[in-house]
Each structure stands twice: as C-alpha cells, then as structure tokens.
C-alpha cells in the first residue's frame, strides 16, 4: 500500500475507472460521490467511503476531484462541507475536471489561504482512456507540486505533462476540445458526402485513415458512427460545456473563434433535441438531419446513374 492516502470525489464515467486504477496500483482511497452505486463498487475493491467532501479531505493527503463543470468544482471545494473545510495544511488538491481556467485560478487562490496547494489537471481520452489508464493529462501548477504528484498521475495517464502555472491545464484542455469538436464535424460532413455518393464508409475510412486526414478522432469515432453506437464515452452535454467555456475564455482574451462558435450552436441544437446524453460522435446526427441521410456500415451501391441523379 502506498504511504499517501488519496481522496477521490466524483465517480462518473471517467472518475470511477480512474479511481479503480489507483486502487489496483496500491493506493489507499477515500471516495465520495453524489450517488451511492459507484461508491459501493469502490468500497468492494478496498476504498473507504467518505460522508462528504469535507470528510474525504480530513482523511486524505491528496484530494482528486473529477466533476462535470466549474460550479460543481466550486461547490465541492469551496462550499459548505467542502474540501477546504477539512483539508490539512500542506494537502494537495488535484482538480481533474474540465472547467474554465479562470475558475481554476480563483479556487487555487482561495486554497492557498488555507495552506493547501492545487493542480488543475484535466484529461483527454474518454472512457476508454480512463479504463485503460492511457489518458492524456495536461497539468497546471507549481513544478514542485507536479513532481510530487507525477507518479500518482502516471497511474491514470499515458501522457502526463506540466504545461504551465495554475490554469494552464484547462487552457490546454480548451484547445484540445476545439480541435476534437471541429474534427468530429469534419468527419461527419465527409462521411455523409461520401456515403450519400454510394460508397461504403468503411472503404473510405480504410483508404484515408493512414493519410494526412488520419487522426485519433477519426480512428476512435468513425467505427462507432458506422455501427450507430452512440453509447456515451464523452457526452454531448459535456462537449457543449467545454465549448461554451472555450468561447467565453476566447472572449475574455479577445481571441476570435468563429468556427468554434458555430460548433457551439450545433451542440446547443443537439441538446435541445434531447441528444445531450449521447456520445459526442452523435454530432453527425445534426448534419444527417440536414442532409436527410444516415451514414451506415453499408453505403448505397455505387453507380454512375446514381451520381447523375443527385448532381
């Protein structure tokens, strides 16, 4: 068993497998979540149940939070019965949520007044990366605190890199999410075009995946689209939250992001249509509705007559 006790708050799609990997690696965990079911799963693996964020902090040396959005993190860390009410002087908070960078800085400033250090360490890699321990973890905070937590973070991620001071992790995550979102849009438009022309989307994928158009997004999301499997690995509502934060941050920094603003509207439409719980690969359904066509494993039979018909 490792010497430091780790608190883990937020056992959702990502948080639960991340916490499981820490237990497998020999860390002693105290866990808390709003719903009981994932807590019970972790307790069966050897974790201790915390009664509140404050209780978790009282029993831990390092407290990890993995929560949906900025208000959730503020409430769990700064609120009544929050982490800072119970954290020992010298404790470390690692917020692995994807939130607004300026909120990370605000929380870190308040934490410092309690003698508590903080890293912002959002992740990329989805549910699969969380399960396999292969996440990309982008970290902001003091170098000496990052160095102290590196081995812990390496249990959950294949790539663990400090990118700057507090807030830098979430600035990097916003850049990541802009690229991911626009890449999914490009994949969506491209495969609707090719498949409606009568091609098998699998054939298109096999040809282009190793060329310049290849990407992790294409590799990960295209097969799910072909199988119409939109089980959430990363929900549309969370993608929207990240893009909302990106647009707001860009406004604060006076950076024009016209295409990011467009995808913000696409995501808002999908949420309004009740698709917010689907995986973000379901972004294609917005464009399919515009085209009146659905991408499936088997495309239409390719022939010149069809092409003349749709010209």
Give the tens place of pLDDT for each residue, 50-73. 999 999 999 999 999 999 999 999
Based on the fold, state whether residues 140 and 196 are members of the same structural domain.
no
Q: Tell me: do 232 and 146 sit in the same domain.
A: no
Cβ count within 10 A of residue 34: 13
Answer whether residue 143 shows pLDDT above 80.
yes
Q: Does one domain contain both 12 and 159? A: yes
| One domain, residues 96 and 214 | no
End-to-end CA, the chain: 67
Mean pLDDT of 20-24: 98
Considering the domain architecture, whether residues 15 and 151 belong to the same structural domain is answered as: yes
Residues 39 and 141 in one domain: yes
Closest CA to 93 of 38, 85, 125: 85
Provide the mean pLDDT of the chain: 94
Buried b (16+ CB within 10 A) or exposed e, 239-249: bbbbbebbbeb
Domain housing 156? 5-166
Look at residue 298 in the predicted model and tell me its pLDDT: 63
What is the pairing mode between strands 92-95 and 117-120?
Answer: parallel
**117, 133, 166 - which closes a domain:** 166
Domain stops at, among 147, 166, 185: 166
Output the pLDDT for position 2: 74
CATH number of the domain to which 17 belongs: 3.40.50.720
Q: Which of 59, 173, 196, 240 is catalytic?
A: 173
CATH of residue 222? 1.10.1040.10
Range with lowest mean pLDDT among 70-74, 92-96, 200-204, 293-297: 293-297
- Does 191 share its domain with 130? no
Same domain, yes or no: 21 and 145: yes
Structure confidence by residue, pLDDT tens digits, 276-301: 999 999 999 999 999 999 998 765 55
The pLDDT value recorded for residue 303 is: 46
Q: What is the pLDDT of residues 73-84, one digit of tens each?
A: 999 999 999 999
What pLDDT sits at residue 296? Answer: 86
Average pLDDT over residues 81-107: 97
Residue with tokens 């066509």: 293
Confidence of residue 245 (pLDDT cuts 50, 70, 90): very high
CA–CA dist 214, 228 (Å, integer)? 21
Do 153 and 30 share a domain, yes or no? yes
Return the percentage of the chain with pLDDT > 90, whole number.
Answer: 93
pLDDT at 124: 94
Please list the residues that pair with 206 across neighbouring strands.
none
Check if 89 is active-site. Answer: no
Asked if residue 93 lies in contact with residue 72, where contact means CB atoms within 8 angstroms, the answer is: no
Cβ atoms 179, 160 nearer than 8 A: no
End-of-domain residue from the set 166, 191, 220: 166
Are residues 101 and 223 both part of a single domain? no
Global pTM reads 0.89
The reply to whether 189 and 121 lie within a common domain is no
Give the number of domains in the chain.
2
Q: What is the mean pLDDT of residues 112-134?
A: 96
Are residues 17 and 156 located together in one domain of the fold?
yes
């Amino acid at each position: 068993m490792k010497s430091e006790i780790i608190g883990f708050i937020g056992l959702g799609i990502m948080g639960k497998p991340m916490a499981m990997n820490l237990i497998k690696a020999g860390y002693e965990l105290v866990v808390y979540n709003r719903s009981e079911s994932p807590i019970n799963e972790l307790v069966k693996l050897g974790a201790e149940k915390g009664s509140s964020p404050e209780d978790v902090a009282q029993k831990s040396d390092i407290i990890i939070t993995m929560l949906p959005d900025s208000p959730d993190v503020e409430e769990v860390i700064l609120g009544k019965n929050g982490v800072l009410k119970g954290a020992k002087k010298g404790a470390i908070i690692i917020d692995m949520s994807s939130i607004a960078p300026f909120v990370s800085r605000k929380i870190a400033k308040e934490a410092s007044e309690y003698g508590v250090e903080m890293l912002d360490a959002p992740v990329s890699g989805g549910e699969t990366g969380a399960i396999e321990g292969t996440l990309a973890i982008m970290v902001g905070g003091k170098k000496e605190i990052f160095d102290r937590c590196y081995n812990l973070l390496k249990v959950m991620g294949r790539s663990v890199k400090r990118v700057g001071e507090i807030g830098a992790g979430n600035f990097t995550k916003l850049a990541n999410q802009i690229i991911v979102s626009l890449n999914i849009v490009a994949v969506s438009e491209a495969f609707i075009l090719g498949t409606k022309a009568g091609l098998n989307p699998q054939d298109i994928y096999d040809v282009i995946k190793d060329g310049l158009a290849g990407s992790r997004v294409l590799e990960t999301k295209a097969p799910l689209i072909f199988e119409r499997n939109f089980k959430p690995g990363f929900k549309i509502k969370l993608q929207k939250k990240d893009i909302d934060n990106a647009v707001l941050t860009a406004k604060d920094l006076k950076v024009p992001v016209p295409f990011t603003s467009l995808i913000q509207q696409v995501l808002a439409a999908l949420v309004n249509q009740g698709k917010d719980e689907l995986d973000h690969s379901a972004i294609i359904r917005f464009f399919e509705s515009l085209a009146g066509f659905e991408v499936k494993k088997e495309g239409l039979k390719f022939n010149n007559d069809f092409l003349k018909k749709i010209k």
